Structure 1
């Protein structure tokens, strides 16, 4: 009998995917796991539920962090005036962004305290899966006082970058899995220290990656801007004398958080609230969460829609994705209702919504 408590954040826990709940139960039964939280975007992953946080007093589990260590969101307010932004012109400029960056990767890594040998052709690229860059506008200022206090501008083009550590995180997970780390590592051991060192390097690499991606897109659009936040949602960090694993969970202890919807829905800028944060292991939903698996989405939608249908959304935004399989797998229909996810966080007393953002162009991949 497993006695590890599982706390679900949701107005109606009966709506959670039973497969994801089974995955939470199995994780809760692992040696050394003392607390488990399922967030409103909870969904089944590859053996590990996504949209969850796991706390252990003394153990590290690399597979609970997963292969994309440091994957996260960065949100930029650009200096581009919204009134001058033209979708056609912006779309024409977004070319040549999938290949290797031609900048000084060694200098970027050195500035982040990383060795030059971590440079490779993937630095500054978005990657596959659910990663993206999205140009946005403020749809609604929900908390005008906080919006003003944060010195934010409603009449600007905004940009959200979602990417991670690319092949570096995968290589780290593969190496530790081969060494038997699925059984767990004692944090205060040689192996524990070695994994944490590699993990932390991948975290910093992911931040650099998002920074370079942002610079490439800003340059393509002839814009400048400032980064308002950069948060990781696949990580393990010290917490309450132990170790907090987040798998698809945004940190509630790092300031502002951007919670994206699907490529055809709104995103939310929220501020975490401290009073009830411990109940959720100081974690928040990192997005809408999948409603269908990628294979289900592809099967369901490819029979109903043409690719061209999915290049425009109900909100009037555009999707740039020249991977025929991916555009079906990542279609808005495959995701949960982001408004419901954020409402659950608000009802649980975990966030205050500052603003809601509307997508303009969602960029995933282009062949040239």
Structure 2
């Protein structure tokens, strides 16, 4: 059996999770997979490595996209100057955001060209796991000329939203799994059905991030402009075949924001498209997990009280009233984002425009 070629984007492969590398090797044995790229944030997932891209000349593999189809990062630049952003007041005002959106769901879906019969109750909500909304400010402008050419303001407050298709993506994967197929030709009835459902979930997730951002800004009376929205769980046409990204940001869609943990910086980068093919036009989507959720809870719940994790080493605040999740998503559970960005730069894949400092990370609030 011919195995797919695997390329790892890392300055030190010894730092990589052995289980994640083994998961890549297992995927490389699937008939129909021709190329695999592991990115610097590579880590083990539920049977499939996260932080990777997979290319097939003619087959669709839904399990390589996973259940949260369309999950991604949106970044909004607000009109609020950083000097006027008062954390105490902001923290008090961010309430009711876990509740269903009270807007016109049917109209919003219709205007986006989406069906209204699925997932409407979750529209405009962040969800669990590693999803979040985070207010940030510019920490350092690395490429001043490019920063100014893009019309960005150095003193603005920014809002980053990480969320996806909620239960809709899970329903799409569940329906596929009932077929008991690993893969299907893209041109087949099964493949075409999946792609239609997949594209709908992508659109739903993009709209979801937009409404989340709107809700957060409305709570604070802010105007904001979306600067980018990128999806890191998807399958798209590429070089006559099909490119599956699992926790991999696209390098062929313009600017990308790569977040660290809630206690580390995020980076606004511009892909270097001339070098993109070596990495299947994909980039790291974040820092990547260092510890599993169970490991993080087990290690950190013995060392910290939940209240201690509501403040970060960078002076940021965290709103997370799920007592288990606050340990599972602690900064210590994640890799060093600086190393991830260094590896992408070292491979010639990105130019850094600016770094952003987290001010307030929101995950969930009971009331």
Partner secondary structure for residue 26 of structure 2? helix
Query: Matches of 2:94 and 2:151 in 1, distance apart?
Result: 29
Query: Matches of 1:114 and 1:312 in 2, distance apart?
Result: 39
1:219 equivalent in alignment to 2:206: no
Q: Which residue of 1 aligns with 2:349?
A: 350
Q: Offset of 1:2 from its aligned partner?
A: 4.5
Query: Matches of 1:158 and 1:216 in 2, distance apart?
Result: 14
For residues 189-243 of structure 1, the C-alpha deviation after alignment (integer angstroms, 9 at most, x for no partner) is: 1111110000000000000100100000000011011000000000000000000
8 Å CA contact 1:16, 1:42 repeated in 2: yes
Query: Matches of 2:19 and 2:259 in 1, distance apart?
Result: 23
More displaced, 126-135 or 115-124? 115-124
For residues 336-362 of structure 1, the C-alpha deviation after alignment (integer angstroms, 9 at most, x for no partner) is: 000000000000000000000000000
Q: Offset of 1:274 from its aligned partner?
A: 1.1
Moved over 3 A (4+): none
Q: Which residue of 1 aligns with 2:135?
A: 135
Query: Matches of 2:13 and 2:53 in 1, distance apart?
Result: 16
For residues 149-189 of structure 1, the C-alpha deviation after alignment (integer angstroms, 9 at most, x for no partner) is: 000001111000000000000011011011113x2111111
Partner secondary structure for residue 48 of structure 2? coil
Query: Matches of 1:275 and 1:349 in 2, distance apart?
Result: 9
Query: Matches of 2:132 and 2:119 in 1, distance apart?
Result: 21
Query: Matches of 1:324 and 1:119 in 2, distance apart?
Result: 27
Q: Which residue of 1 aligns with 2:29?
A: 29
Query: Matches of 2:343 and 2:213 in 1, distance apart?
Result: 31
Query: Matches of 1:153 and 1:173 in 2, distance apart?
Result: 41
Mapping of residues 10-25 of structure 1, within 5 Å: 10-25=10-25
Q: Which residue of 2 aligns with 1:82?
A: 82
Q: Offset of 1:83 from its aligned partner?
A: 1.2
Q: Offset of 1:261 from its aligned partner?
A: 0.2
Mapping of residues 229-244 of structure 1, within 5 Å: 229-244=228-243
Q: Give the CA RMSD over aligned residues.
A: 0.7
8 Å CA contact 1:109, 1:119 repeated in 2: no
8 Å CA contact 2:24, 2:48 repeated in 1: yes
Gapped runs of 5+ residues in structure 2?
none
Q: Which residue of 1 aligns with 2:145?
A: 145
More displaced, 23-32 or 107-116? 107-116
Query: Matches of 1:133 and 1:43 in 2, distance apart?
Result: 23
8 Å CA contact 1:71, 1:164 repeated in 2: yes
Q: Which residue of 2 aligns with 1:209?
A: 208
8 Å CA contact 1:259, 1:287 repeated in 2: yes
Q: Which residue of 1 aligns with 2:95?
A: 95
8 Å CA contact 1:263, 1:331 repeated in 2: yes
Gapped runs of 5+ residues in structure 1?
none
